[in-house]
Structure 1
């Protein structure tokens, strides 16, 4: 086999693993190292009384190059390219998106679930990108709600108020808001390997409900890639007091929050929260 490869020029290959599940990848002939980009799965959003969408999946990058163009702030890779041996079996687990909170009648909050971790096992070493975190109703000692953390942008949506933002900008930390404690953004790239040649396609974050009695402040989907996006929250009545929000775009996108009906003298109820999007793994190699 070695003799057959002499004089042949190596070619660049890029292989993506999606949707959620377990994969076994044999290292091809002539390949001795790989660049790996991992995205954890997104968290599910709460139902209409669960208030908030989830956090997006975290990203991790291992590569030979130090290039980090097109990324927000001072992003740095997590490690060098991974050494492998031709014929070696690489185990890959792509995280599954967290379920959204179920719809209910009455004022019953149901929160989403955390997203599943994504991992790559090479020999005795496991490389992991954690899933996004779901809002679970936690508050601090002063009663402020603690929003979930996410991979490239935590859910900083409007909830009961007018502010509603969904971040999709290469790891930017959303701005501070009164009345809540923001989850922490990982500050990593949304682009494969942190390189501007790739579109922002990972870790979109969902918004929360729109403003009272109007869709003026209805959160918008974080723009970008479709595959792996979080599901939209669902409406409860079709004329909800608080509108449902859209899921985050891109692999590991977070689920949106459901709408709810909150008008005196009418039945109360909430729509279902959206499920989080599955994560992904991208392997880049020469062979």
Structure 2
């Protein structure tokens, strides 16, 4: 009796059975089928191994490519410390050899950072502190502009993001930061000459300019006549077209000195201006007050005449009919082509002698909405009404009884006139310096 094999079910005849060709053929068919199945599965396995090998190789290639490309990725490294000598602590900068004491950034690597600790005041360097490498630090590298030159003061503004790229020996500043100009201003309150370099990204600067106040005149004992008050300085608002890196010259007028000599009037206040590409934007200073007998008896003690755009009056130049400062018309004076000069108001006149020995009050400086107010008797004139908190200084009081003449108030107030005080005469007081304020 025949039996089957345990695994594939081949038929095994008993030794007593007759030879049966059909049984043999059936066994051969089973052998053929199983061998074919094994062959097919072997091919499938080999193909899978090949596919997996190719996939792994492809992944490795992509990883290598990504690592190479990663050098060009722009990372955010954080904020800097130090105004000019910056340090940036970061764990995102790729290095050439992390095992050395001072790892060098990979050539071509770049990162963004936010400038802190103030706007730079000169050339800039940077040190990288690798927090992922046990706080190892790099060498100190220069930060250069696109022309491979050291940075100028103001190139890195506090609080603004910037991008740096390493070329193997230095970092190069890319573009101009965030592309957003940070609003800022510069104020010049003391008489003198200054220079401003226009910051990057700035194309227009608004200037608020005040001329200086005139000095008060001196009291005359010979004719018992007080000195006139100095006049207030003018005000000019200008919108100035500029280019980054351009140099602007700023001059703040000096307040006129009060007169201590009966034969001499108080000095006029200096004019203030901003010079851009050879064009001056000027606010005139107030005229000085006349002394008791300077200029002859008919003019003695006159108040100074208020400054106007582009003009400072030379004393004695006032009148007994002193007046407030007024609007200056650019169109009426042939300046219609100078559209950058927006508006100008004159300073108030100083007061003439009021009561024999009393000094006249100084004129007030102009403001952004009105001319300065004239001095009245011994009272100093007020500054003009203002619209945007831009206003001049009031004039100083003239000498009166036991009080000496008072200096003008900044910016641009006229000094009070001298008078007879406590059984003695006193000279006129000084006018106040002008002022220039630039906004962008």
Q: TM-score, normalised by structure 2?
A: 0.42
Residue 52 of structure 1: which of 211, 228, 233 is its match?
Answer: 228
Q: Look up the match of 1:98.
A: 256
For the 8 Å contact 2:350–2:362, the answer to whether it is kept is yes
Indicate the RMSD between aligned Cα atoms, in angstroms. 3.5
Q: Which has the higher contact order (CA 8 A, sep 6+)?
A: 1
For the 8 Å contact 1:58–1:203, the answer to whether it is kept is no
Q: How does 1:1-287 map to 2 (within 5 A)?
A: 4-5=175-176, 7-49=178-220, 51-62=227-238, 81-102=239-260, 108-136=262-290, 137=294, 146-150=302-306, 151-156=346-351, 159-160=354-355, 168=364, 170-174=370-374, 195-196=387-388, 198=389, 200=391, 202-210=392-400, 215=401, 243-260=403-420, 269-285=424-440
- State the alpha-carbon separation in 2 of the partners of residues 175 and 20 from structure 1: 24
Specify the structure having the higher radius of gyration (Cα). 2
- State the alpha-carbon separation in 2 of the partners of residues 101 and 144 from structure 1: 13
Q: Look up the match of 1:226.
A: none
- Per-residue deviation, 1:47: 2.1
- State the alpha-carbon separation in 2 of the partners of residues 244 and 190 from structure 1: 25
Q: Secondary structure at the match of 1:246?
A: coil
In structure 2, do the counterparts of structure 1 residues 262 and 8 end up closer, same or farther at CA, with 3 Å as the change threshold? closer
Question: Unaligned regions of 5+ residues in structure 1, if any?
Answer: 63-80, 178-184, 216-239, 264-268
For the 8 Å contact 2:375–2:395, the answer to whether it is kept is no
- Per-residue deviation, 1:122: 0.3
In structure 2, do the counterparts of structure 1 residues 248 and 109 end up closer, same or farther at CA, with 3 Å as the change threshold? same
- Per-residue deviation, 1:87: 0.2
For the 8 Å contact 2:231–2:288, the answer to whether it is kept is yes
For the 8 Å contact 1:51–1:159, the answer to whether it is kept is no
Q: Secondary structure at the match of 2:237?
A: strand
Aligned residues: 214
Higher helix share: 2
In structure 2, do the counterparts of structure 1 residues 282 and 144 end up closer, same or farther at CA, with 3 Å as the change threshold? same
- Per-residue deviation, 1:244: 2.6
- Per-residue deviation, 1:55: 0.5
Describe the superposition over 1:67-87 as per-residue Cα deviations: whole angstroms up to 9, x where unpaired.
xxxxxxxxxxxxxx2110000
For the 8 Å contact 1:155–1:207, the answer to whether it is kept is no
Question: Unaligned regions of 5+ residues in structure 2, if any?
Answer: 1-144, 147-173, 221-225, 307-345
For the 8 Å contact 1:100–1:113, the answer to whether it is kept is yes
For the 8 Å contact 1:206–1:247, the answer to whether it is kept is yes
